[in-house]
Chain A
Amino acid sequence: MKKTFYLAAIALLLTAPIARAQLGTTTGTTTVNVTVAAEAALTVGSTTNLTSTGTNFSSYTGTTSLTYFIRTTQSGGSGFIKLEVTTDFAPAGGPSVATPPTTGDALNYSCTVANPGNNGTATACTSPTTASTTSQTSVATFGADNRSVIGGNSASVGWTLTNDPKYKTGSYSAVVTFTISAS
């Protein structure tokens, strides 16, 4: 018994320096983890001018171009692009989205949306859709596992604003806010 103990003690004493030397290593590994989640982003031109061309009192038209980036969850995911008139036309006397000067006056739009590019299909809004100051209206919807290209995919909104003779002359501006979401 004593002999075994002494041998063990000697072995420990001899191996201690070796064990210490093994704390370092010439190679080692690290696992790199990343969780890729649903995401969406959007770039929008800052200003769109609506102009009337052609016959008198034909509607004002213009186009807002968008570039969207989207990735929806592989299973059960979805996404959308919506817009809302967050600041109505001003100053007073001209067009108004919230309170049309004449029944039928409206800011309508149509949508052109390229497919995401890497997977999935974009569904553009029903044309025409009437913009609102009180609720978001659709530009496009996306299904599960929709993925855009790295440079983004294009979309555009074509505006049509009634040219009501009732409008006073002048320049009017409104703010439209676009929102993109993915889950």
Chain B
Amino acid sequence: MLLLRNVKHFLTWVFVYGLGGVVMLLAPQGCNAQTTLGTQTLTLDLEPAGLLYTIPSSVSLTHTGTTFSAFTGAVTLDYRARTTASTGGGTITVKVTTDFTCSSGGPCIGTPPSPGDALTYTCTGATLGANCSGTQTASTTTATNIVTVPAGACTGAGSPCNNAATNTVSVNFKLTDDPKYKTGSFSATITWTISAT
């Protein structure tokens, strides 16, 4: 009696779950058979954008070459940009937002200790856009150019911009080594800005 009840229970279980399984297996077939009810257009509005990545937290300017030759150091920036076709454009700029402590007698961007003292830089290897022109002088009052991105440009190798690999540009700094500077360690902060339209 007990055995019969168990068999009945088993058969009931097989029937219920089996039927469910069959329904699940057949369901996709039914879906395939559905009639197309309409179409939907997906639109993507890509805005111009620019972003900086991997900004070095610090750079040390050091001597190379002869005595009183300039202090030098380099920074590589990673960036991505997308600019509006025809009318857009983008820039990366740099500005000295915190000067060296001028009162300490070392280098000073805002008020150079001697005429000709300067923090200058050149830009090389921009993989999107154009490097800054020639030697630029960093300023505490105005942002100066690093890269100019033309209209209708976007990050990504190949065409049209089919991956998200970042672009890079190297900035090579040079700081006058004026004998007037007192000995010691000095720091300044520069701020990079990217914009795109």
A residues within 8 Å of B by Cβ? 23-41, 69-74, 77, 116, 118, 145, 147-150, 152
CA–CA, A71 and B113, complex, Å: 14
User: C-beta contact mask, B118-143 vs A, less than 8 Å → 1, else 0?
Assistant: 01000000000000000000000000
CA–CA, A62 and B165, complex, Å: 68
- A24-B53, A73-B183 are known contacts. Are A29 and B192 too (CB-CB below 8 A)? yes
User: C-beta contact mask, B172-187 vs A, less than 8 Å → 1, else 0?
Assistant: 0101111111111111
CA–CA, A34 and B57, complex, Å: 14
Contact check: which of B58, B66, B115, B182 meets A33 at CB < 8 Å? B58
B107 within 8 A of A: yes
Write out the residue numbers on chain B whose beta carbons fall within 8 Å of the beta carbon of A38.
183
Which A residue's beta carbon lies closest to that of B77? A28
Write out the residue numbers on chain A whose beta carbons fall within 8 Å of the beta carbon of B61.
32-34
B residues within 8 Å of A by Cβ? 50-53, 55-62, 66-68, 71, 73, 75, 80, 97, 100, 106-107, 114-117, 119, 173, 175-195
Pairwise interchain contact A26-B58, C-beta atoms closer than 8 A: no
Pairwise interchain contact B178-A31, C-beta atoms closer than 8 A: no
Cβ distance B117 to chain A, nearest Cβ, rounded Å: 7
CA–CA, A16 and B112, complex, Å: 47
Contact check: which of A30, A35, A118 meets B180 at CB < 8 Å? A118
Write out the residue numbers on chain A whose beta carbons fall within 8 Å of the beta carbon of B185.
33-36
Which B residue's beta carbon lies closest to that of A21? B51
Pairwise interchain contact B55-A34, C-beta atoms closer than 8 A: no
- A69-B68, A150-B179 are known contacts. Are A28 and B52 too (CB-CB below 8 A)? yes
CA–CA, A35 and B56, complex, Å: 18
Pairwise interchain contact B184-A40, C-beta atoms closer than 8 A: no
Pairwise interchain contact B116-A150, C-beta atoms closer than 8 A: yes
Pairwise interchain contact B190-A32, C-beta atoms closer than 8 A: yes
Which 8 residue pairs are nearest across A and B when measured between Cβ atoms? A24-B51, A28-B55, A41-B67, A31-B58, A118-B180, A150-B114, A34-B61, A148-B179
Complex A-B: 23 CB contacts under 8 Å = A24-B80, A25-B52, A25-B53, A26-B50, A26-B193, A26-B195, A27-B191, A30-B56, A31-B188, A32-B58, A32-B61, A34-B100, A34-B185, A35-B186, A39-B67, A39-B68, A39-B177, A70-B179, A71-B181, A71-B183, A118-B179, A149-B179, A152-B179
Write out the residue numbers on chain B whose beta carbons fall within 8 Å of the beta carbon of A33.
58-61, 185-187
CA–CA, A26 and B80, complex, Å: 10
CA–CA, A70 and B180, complex, Å: 9
Known: A32-B189, A34-B62, A150-B176. 10 other contacts (CB 8 A): A23-B53, A30-B55, A30-B58, A33-B61, A34-B71, A34-B186, A39-B177, A116-B179, A118-B180, A150-B114
Write out the residue numbers on chain A whose beta carbons fall within 8 Å of the beta carbon of B62.
34-35
Cβ distance A97 to chain B, nearest Cβ, rounded Å: 29
CA–CA, A150 and B59, complex, Å: 25
Write out the residue numbers on chain A whose beta carbons fall within 8 Å of the beta carbon of B100.
34
